[in-house]
Chain A
Amino acid sequence: MSTTAAQMLVGASTDFLRHFSPFDRMEPAALAYLAQHAVLGFHPRGSEILTPEMGPARHFYIIQRGKVQARQTGATAVTEYASLTMSAGECFPIGAISAQRPSTNAYVAVEDSFCFQITGDEFLHLMQISPVFHLFCTQYIASLLNQSRQQLQTTFAQRAAEQQTMTTPLGQLVKREPVCVTPETRTRSALEKMNELRIGCMVVADAGQRPVGILTQSDLLPRVVLAGFDLERPIGEVMTANPHQLPATASAYDAALEMATHGVRHLLVVDGNGCLKGVISERDLFSLQRISLRQIRAGIENAADVDALQHASRDIRQLALNLIAQGVGAEQLTQFISALNDALTRRIIELALDRHDLVGIDFGWFAFGSEGRHEQTLSTDQDNGIIWRCPEPEDAEAVRKRLIAFAREVNQNLAACGFPLCKGNIMASNPDLCLTLDEWKERFGDWIREPDPQALLNASIFFDFRVLYGNERLGDQLRTWLNKLSRTSTNFLRMMAANALQVPPPLGRIRDFVLEDDGTIDLKKCGARLFVDAARIIALRTGVDSSSTVQRLRQASGKMGVSSEEVSAIIDGFHFIQLLRLRSQHLETEHDADGDNRIDPDSLNELDRRILKEAFRQARKLQLRLKLDYQL
């Protein structure tokens, strides 16, 4: 019957759509509507599917197979790079069909491609009946990010589960089915069973599964072997009677206390009826090492020496891992890492101050670069400096010497705590970076007035400063002065912009991504930095004081008349790249390798690849903005 035929084909389309977002989450009725109305067409390689010249978009397309390239068109001089390639499951044109206007992109099949299509009216109806689809269309990137986070949570669920707390009920910690024998069992067969199952102890229980005794491996030598115990005799004669037991509802902490109090290595876990549920060993509890934010902070603040701080530094990484596992986003995560690293650095400074007499010297410890922006990831080397003011009667050079000696110790201790020394020597112990307020002004002034390549590079590092310890007023004064000067230095900003545009987002015209020779993308150099550099320039131009990329973008957008949706999309893109960096870093440090910023896009799942593409597109948008602003 013909209805059956249609149902079969609708079923086939539905199965296909279910593989992709947002259709996999779409309400059943809406998905059915889509599958019923979606018709399949073919677009040979090289053919135009949709162009602006075709007038208002009349169809919404979902790629079934093949590749479609979207190219930005129009009068701007930057269109040659503005293209992206889409593959199965991706849809277009969302904006044009929603607004019933011509598409701004030209969509061209770059491979033989099959696409499902629905009409504009069907698209609008789908938006109405499906909140999921509506959300997808209106918050394209935001919704994708959210899903990615959920996927991430699933990925890490296993590890998160292993990171249980000392409050976990024992019932949850019991790993294997309880094994027990009756007191009448021959000792030989009980031992054979222990050996066969590779268990460290044998529980002896009565017919009702209530434990009456235990025999552990450590009992064997004194009681069985040396005592010449006859293995044919029942185990009841050699076991320890009345074994320690706890209810399944007791916590791991209770168990640890019980073991510590009685000096036993095994505890029996019983249910409400006193029946055996399993055995908890000392080792089971040992793996429940638990670190909390508060404990780490307390550990840092109470640390008496660098050794203790090294410990805390490892804990920070461990906690970051746990937070990633819980699906905490990049913004909170980087802030949190920054906050703990700040605390760690402050403690190192305090410890050094005990040994260096700097009384009377007004100084501030500068954090530059990512630390200055509160955007530290797990593998960041040191970027720091000192700003100071010389007490009236003293000799400036003598003071500088003392500061540098102090800074050298801080730098060394930071290195010992997992912040590698800066290869470019951007460290407070470098005399060039241990400057008075006036010297810093002079330094910045030179860069701004004569922006040669080195000056521009310096500016990109040193403009992101904040005072991490000491007199913050010194930093504020420098900032105020600097902002005033740079805002009026159009040439300098223009050159900064040109510099920032030197690295384009690694988006390919044919392939999805442009890869380095080793098949990876550098998420710092070709990802995060694109946002960071652009945001810095925009902030300087609009006079935003913040040193954080996100804050700079948010605050500047208001002044520049950029819509909040637009800036949110850009920020989401930045956060996603930061999150990928954190993920790859911690995954690598798990294997004791140095964390780095390289990622092989093929190792990402389909969704993350798409979001990454979108994130790069946002970077491109930001760059385009700079291009237009400075006519580059």
Chain B
Amino acid sequence: MNWISRFIGGRGESEALDRGVAETLAHWQSLVDADLSRAHFETRYAVLNTEATGLDLDRDRLLAVGAIAIEGGLISPAGSYYSTLEPSPSLALCGLLEFVRKDPVVVFNAAFNLGMLEPVLDQRLGIALDAQTIDLYFLLPALFPERHGNPVRLGDWMESFGIGTFQRHHALGDGWAVAQLFLAAQARALAQGAASPRALQDLERAYRQYRRKA
């Protein structure tokens, strides 16, 4: 019995599933964190988004997860992931980890999305995501102050860029909009000389500090 089975064993999921999950997790854990100093075009970003019963981190439940990869500044339908937590939460989360790898994670509102996801990851898989994240909630107003100087909701950014999606408030639907916003953010950042994931993180951090002082 390895350490993982303490968490997932005896929860009604089959042995075979357990084994598959365990293998995936082991593989995921063996991955090395992506190099944040590489250029955008060499980096695979994973846009990650969640769907919950509501917005209260304490009371609401995670329902589904969605993710979209951005490679070479392009969104491909093949590079996407979506799963509801039911019927098999461990499988859903495992698939997400497998998709996200250890690549930089792009979210819109990390406090909520990761706040919703991380406890479940811990509870179901005994895993801490510990991802290198870029939060568009802060990065977008930093890059496009002429559109919105302060952090605003996703819907406001979508409207500002004329971005639509096939289904709002759906993990993948909103994720698709976030991914498109990230393409615009990436291009604007590049024009400002911010050419790597680390540079994006720096921009985001600087913006937060500036807001705290202001």
Which of A's residues lie within 8 Å of B, judged by CB?
1-2, 4-6, 8-13, 15, 35-36, 38-44, 47, 65, 112, 114, 117
Contacts and interface: CB of A to CB of B under 8 A. Distances in A.
A550 to B, nearest CB: 42
A112 B185 CA distance: 11
8 contacts: A1-B82, A2-B99, A5-B68, A9-B176, A15-B166, A38-B77, A39-B77, A44-B188
Interface string B8-21: 00000000000000
A1 B85 CA distance: 11
A23 to B, nearest CB: 16
Nearest to B73: A41
B80 interface: yes
A10 B78 CA distance: 9
A162 to B, nearest CB: 39
Contacts of B193: none
B165 interface: yes
B162 A6 contact: no
Given A5-B82, A12-B165, A42 B95 contact: no
B80 A9 contact: yes
B81 A2 contact: yes
Nearest to A42: B183
Contacts of B176: 9, 12
Contacts of A38: 77
B113 interface: no
B199 interface: no
Interface of B: 66-68, 73-78, 80-83, 95, 99, 161-163, 165-167, 172-173, 176, 180, 183-184, 186-188, 191
Contacts of A42: 73, 180, 183-184, 186-187
Contact of A2 (B74, B82, B180, B184): B82
A8 B172 contact: yes
Contacts of A117: 74
A36 B183 contact: no
- Which interface residue of A8, A35, A47, A114 has the most chain B CB atoms within 10 A? A8
Contacts of A15: 166
B24 to A, nearest CB: 13
Nearest to B96: A2
Contacts of B166: 8, 11-12, 15
Given A36-B78, A40-B75, A40-B76, 9 more contacts: A2-B82, A4-B83, A6-B78, A9-B77, A10-B77, A12-B166, A15-B166, A44-B187, A112-B184
A339 B184 CA distance: 59
A114 B165 CA distance: 13
A408 to B, nearest CB: 63
Contacts, number: 75
Contacts of B73: 41-42
A15 B165 CA distance: 11
B75 A6 contact: no
Contacts of B95: 1-2
A65 B158 CA distance: 13
Contacts of B83: 1, 4
A1 B161 CA distance: 29
Contacts of A43: 187
Contact of A40 (B66, B183, B186, B187): B183
A5 B172 contact: yes
A42 B191 CA distance: 13
A516 to B, nearest CB: 29
A497 B165 CA distance: 52
A39 B74 CA distance: 6
A441 to B, nearest CB: 64
Nearest to B80: A5
Contacts of B162: 65
Nearest to B77: A9
A40 B180 contact: yes
Contacts of B163: 65
Nearest to A44: B187
Contact of B191 (A8, A40, A44): A44
A40 B95 CA distance: 24
Contact of B161 (A2, A8, A39, A112): A112
B172 A9 contact: yes
Contacts of A5: 66-68, 80-82, 172
A42 B173 CA distance: 18
The 5 A-B residue pairs whose C-beta atoms are closest, nearest first, are A5-B82, A9-B77, A42-B183, A5-B80, A12-B166
Given A1-B95, A44-B188, A112-B161, A13 B183 contact: no
A114 B81 contact: no
A390 B183 CA distance: 81
Nearest to B91: A1
A38 B75 CA distance: 9
A41 B172 contact: no
A373 B96 CA distance: 71
A36 B184 contact: no
Nearest to B66: A5
Residue from B77, B163, B187 whose CB has the most chain A CB atoms within 10 Å: B77
B83 to A, nearest CB: 6
Contacts of B165: 12
A114 B73 CA distance: 11
A17 to B, nearest CB: 13
Contacts of B191: 44
A6 B74 CA distance: 15
B107 to A, nearest CB: 17
A114 B183 contact: yes
Question: Most B CB atoms within 10 A — which of A5, A15, A44, A65?
Answer: A5
A47 B186 CA distance: 14
Given A1-B95, A5-B66, A15-B166, A40 B74 contact: yes
A170 B67 CA distance: 62
A4 B67 CA distance: 12
A10 B99 CA distance: 18
